[in-house]
Amino acid sequence: MALSITVLAVVISLHLIAFVLAIGAESRRSTAKVVPDKYDERTYCLYDSDASTAYGLSAFGLLLISQTVVNGVTKCFCFGKGLATGSSLKAWTVFFYIFSWVSFLGAEACLLAGSAKNAYHTKYRGVFHVDHVSCSTLRKGVFAAGAALSFLSMVGSILYYWTHCKVDTGGWEKHQNEGLGMTSPISTENQQQIPSQYGKV
Protein backbone atom coordinates (compact mmCIF):
# COMPACT_ATOMS: atom_id res chain seq x y z
CA MET A 1 0.00 0.00 0.00
CA ALA A 2 1.44 3.34 -1.04
CA LEU A 3 1.75 6.17 1.44
CA SER A 4 -0.98 8.75 0.80
CA ILE A 5 -0.18 12.40 1.46
CA THR A 6 -3.91 13.14 1.54
CA VAL A 7 -4.49 10.69 4.38
CA LEU A 8 -1.56 12.12 6.32
CA ALA A 9 -2.82 15.67 5.80
CA VAL A 10 -6.32 14.75 7.00
CA VAL A 11 -5.05 12.90 10.08
CA ILE A 12 -2.61 15.64 11.07
CA SER A 13 -5.16 18.41 10.50
CA LEU A 14 -7.89 16.73 12.55
CA HIS A 15 -5.52 15.96 15.41
CA LEU A 16 -4.08 19.47 15.49
CA ILE A 17 -7.53 21.07 15.51
CA ALA A 18 -8.59 18.71 18.31
CA PHE A 19 -5.41 19.63 20.21
CA VAL A 20 -6.15 23.36 19.90
CA LEU A 21 -9.77 22.83 20.96
CA ALA A 22 -8.67 20.84 24.01
CA ILE A 23 -6.28 23.64 25.00
CA GLY A 24 -9.11 26.13 24.53
CA ALA A 25 -11.39 23.97 26.66
CA GLU A 26 -8.82 23.95 29.45
CA SER A 27 -8.53 27.73 29.43
CA ARG A 28 -12.31 28.27 29.28
CA ARG A 29 -13.37 25.91 32.05
CA SER A 30 -16.57 26.93 33.81
CA THR A 31 -16.16 28.85 37.03
CA ALA A 32 -18.87 29.55 39.58
CA LYS A 33 -19.55 31.78 42.53
CA VAL A 34 -22.00 31.41 45.36
CA VAL A 35 -24.71 34.07 45.41
CA PRO A 36 -27.77 34.48 47.64
CA ASP A 37 -31.20 33.74 46.31
CA LYS A 38 -33.50 36.75 46.07
CA TYR A 39 -36.55 34.86 47.27
CA ASP A 40 -35.34 32.83 50.25
CA GLU A 41 -32.37 32.34 52.53
CA ARG A 42 -30.70 29.73 50.41
CA THR A 43 -27.63 30.18 48.21
CA TYR A 44 -26.98 28.89 44.70
CA CYS A 45 -24.07 28.58 42.29
CA LEU A 46 -23.91 31.04 39.43
CA TYR A 47 -21.85 29.66 36.52
CA ASP A 48 -20.29 31.44 33.60
CA SER A 49 -20.00 30.23 29.97
CA ASP A 50 -20.07 26.54 29.02
CA ALA A 51 -17.66 27.01 26.11
CA SER A 52 -15.36 24.25 27.41
CA THR A 53 -18.08 21.66 26.97
CA ALA A 54 -18.53 22.59 23.31
CA TYR A 55 -14.78 22.65 22.73
CA GLY A 56 -14.27 19.32 24.45
CA LEU A 57 -17.03 17.56 22.53
CA SER A 58 -15.76 19.00 19.23
CA ALA A 59 -12.26 17.72 19.96
CA PHE A 60 -13.77 14.35 20.90
CA GLY A 61 -15.54 14.12 17.54
CA LEU A 62 -12.51 15.17 15.49
CA LEU A 63 -10.29 12.59 17.15
CA LEU A 64 -12.90 9.92 16.49
CA ILE A 65 -13.04 10.85 12.79
CA SER A 66 -9.25 10.84 12.50
CA GLN A 67 -8.92 7.43 14.15
CA THR A 68 -11.64 6.09 11.86
CA VAL A 69 -9.78 7.36 8.78
CA VAL A 70 -6.48 5.76 9.79
CA ASN A 71 -8.01 2.41 10.69
CA GLY A 72 -10.27 2.47 7.67
CA VAL A 73 -7.34 2.94 5.29
CA THR A 74 -5.25 0.26 7.00
CA LYS A 75 -8.24 -2.08 7.46
CA CYS A 76 -7.81 -1.81 11.23
CA PHE A 77 -4.54 -3.76 10.97
CA CYS A 78 -6.40 -7.08 11.32
CA PHE A 79 -8.69 -7.35 8.31
CA GLY A 80 -6.45 -6.19 5.48
CA LYS A 81 -3.86 -8.00 3.42
CA GLY A 82 -1.18 -9.86 5.32
CA LEU A 83 1.93 -7.87 6.13
CA ALA A 84 5.19 -8.85 4.53
CA THR A 85 6.97 -11.37 6.72
CA GLY A 86 10.57 -11.03 7.77
CA SER A 87 10.43 -7.24 8.03
CA SER A 88 11.84 -5.54 11.12
CA LEU A 89 9.18 -2.85 10.75
CA LYS A 90 6.40 -5.32 11.46
CA ALA A 91 7.08 -5.23 15.21
CA TRP A 92 7.12 -1.44 15.13
CA THR A 93 3.81 -1.45 13.26
CA VAL A 94 2.21 -3.50 16.03
CA PHE A 95 3.75 -1.25 18.69
CA PHE A 96 2.55 1.99 17.09
CA TYR A 97 -0.88 0.46 16.47
CA ILE A 98 -1.29 -0.29 20.18
CA PHE A 99 0.26 3.05 21.15
CA SER A 100 -2.12 5.01 18.92
CA TRP A 101 -5.15 3.21 20.34
CA VAL A 102 -4.10 3.62 23.98
CA SER A 103 -3.41 7.34 23.58
CA PHE A 104 -6.60 7.78 21.55
CA LEU A 105 -8.78 6.09 24.16
CA GLY A 106 -7.10 8.09 26.93
CA ALA A 107 -7.67 11.36 25.10
CA GLU A 108 -11.30 10.52 24.38
CA ALA A 109 -11.91 9.58 28.02
CA CYS A 110 -10.44 12.86 29.26
CA LEU A 111 -12.36 14.96 26.74
CA LEU A 112 -15.68 13.21 27.33
CA ALA A 113 -15.39 13.15 31.12
CA GLY A 114 -14.22 16.75 31.18
CA SER A 115 -17.08 17.90 28.97
CA ALA A 116 -19.65 16.07 31.09
CA LYS A 117 -18.25 17.39 34.37
CA ASN A 118 -17.95 20.91 33.01
CA ALA A 119 -21.60 20.83 31.92
CA TYR A 120 -22.79 19.73 35.37
CA HIS A 121 -24.07 22.67 37.40
CA THR A 122 -24.82 22.56 41.09
CA LYS A 123 -27.77 24.77 41.89
CA TYR A 124 -28.55 25.16 45.57
CA ARG A 125 -25.81 24.57 48.11
CA GLY A 126 -27.20 25.53 51.50
CA VAL A 127 -28.53 28.19 53.79
CA PHE A 128 -27.38 31.75 53.38
CA HIS A 129 -24.27 32.76 55.37
CA VAL A 130 -23.07 29.14 55.69
CA ASP A 131 -19.28 29.01 55.49
CA HIS A 132 -17.28 26.87 53.05
CA VAL A 133 -20.02 26.62 50.47
CA SER A 134 -18.52 25.30 47.22
CA CYS A 135 -19.84 24.72 43.73
CA SER A 136 -19.13 21.68 41.57
CA THR A 137 -16.57 22.58 38.89
CA LEU A 138 -14.17 20.65 36.69
CA ARG A 139 -10.76 19.98 38.17
CA LYS A 140 -7.89 21.75 36.47
CA GLY A 141 -5.81 19.65 34.07
CA VAL A 142 -8.41 17.24 32.65
CA PHE A 143 -8.64 18.95 29.25
CA ALA A 144 -4.87 19.56 29.31
CA ALA A 145 -4.34 15.81 29.72
CA GLY A 146 -6.73 15.26 26.82
CA ALA A 147 -4.72 17.70 24.69
CA ALA A 148 -1.44 15.96 25.52
CA LEU A 149 -2.88 12.55 24.73
CA SER A 150 -4.35 13.92 21.49
CA PHE A 151 -0.87 14.97 20.41
CA LEU A 152 0.55 11.56 21.32
CA SER A 153 -2.31 9.94 19.43
CA MET A 154 -1.37 11.96 16.35
CA VAL A 155 2.26 10.85 16.57
CA GLY A 156 1.23 7.23 17.09
CA SER A 157 -1.26 7.29 14.20
CA ILE A 158 1.24 8.82 11.78
CA LEU A 159 4.00 6.35 12.66
CA TYR A 160 1.56 3.43 12.56
CA TYR A 161 0.29 4.45 9.13
CA TRP A 162 3.82 5.01 7.81
CA THR A 163 5.19 1.67 9.04
CA HIS A 164 2.05 -0.14 7.90
CA CYS A 165 2.51 1.22 4.38
CA LYS A 166 6.14 0.07 4.41
CA VAL A 167 5.39 -3.54 5.33
CA ASP A 168 2.01 -3.97 3.61
CA THR A 169 3.44 -5.12 0.27
CA GLY A 170 2.80 -8.84 0.33
CA GLY A 171 -0.52 -8.71 -1.54
CA TRP A 172 0.77 -6.52 -4.39
CA GLU A 173 3.96 -8.51 -4.87
CA LYS A 174 1.97 -11.75 -5.01
CA HIS A 175 -0.46 -10.30 -7.55
CA GLN A 176 2.39 -8.93 -9.63
CA ASN A 177 4.18 -12.28 -9.68
CA GLU A 178 1.00 -14.08 -10.65
CA GLY A 179 0.49 -11.65 -13.51
CA LEU A 180 4.01 -12.21 -14.79
CA GLY A 181 3.61 -15.98 -14.52
CA MET A 182 0.53 -16.01 -16.76
CA THR A 183 2.37 -14.55 -19.75
CA SER A 184 4.60 -16.95 -21.69
CA PRO A 185 7.44 -15.62 -23.84
CA ILE A 186 7.31 -16.24 -27.59
CA SER A 187 9.75 -18.90 -28.61
CA THR A 188 12.52 -18.17 -31.08
CA GLU A 189 10.95 -20.58 -33.54
CA ASN A 190 7.64 -18.70 -33.53
CA GLN A 191 9.42 -15.38 -33.85
CA GLN A 192 11.10 -16.57 -37.03
CA GLN A 193 7.89 -18.00 -38.47
CA ILE A 194 5.73 -14.92 -37.97
CA PRO A 195 7.70 -12.53 -40.21
CA SER A 196 8.16 -15.20 -42.88
CA GLN A 197 4.43 -15.96 -43.00
CA TYR A 198 3.39 -12.34 -43.27
CA GLY A 199 6.20 -11.57 -45.67
CA LYS A 200 4.77 -13.75 -48.46
CA VAL A 201 2.76 -12.00 -51.18
- The answer to whether the beta carbons of residues 164 and 43 sit under 8 Å apart is no
Beta bridge partners of 43: 36, 126
Q: Is the pLDDT of residue 103 over 70?
A: yes
| 48 alpha carbon, distance to own chain's centre | 31
**Among the ranges given (19-28, 85-94, 123-132, 157-166), the one the predictor scored with the smallest mean pLDDT:** 123-132
More confident: 178 or 22: 22
pLDDT band at 148 (very low <50, low <70, confident <90, very high): very high
pLDDT at 85: 54
More confident: 153 or 124: 153
pLDDT at 149: 96
Average pLDDT score over the chain: 78
pLDDT at 29: 87
CB count, 10 Å around CB of 168? 23
pLDDT at 36: 75
DSSP state of 75: G
Each residue's pLDDT tens digit, 169-183 = 544 444 444 444 444
- d(Cα 127, Cα 189) in Å, to the nearest integer? 108
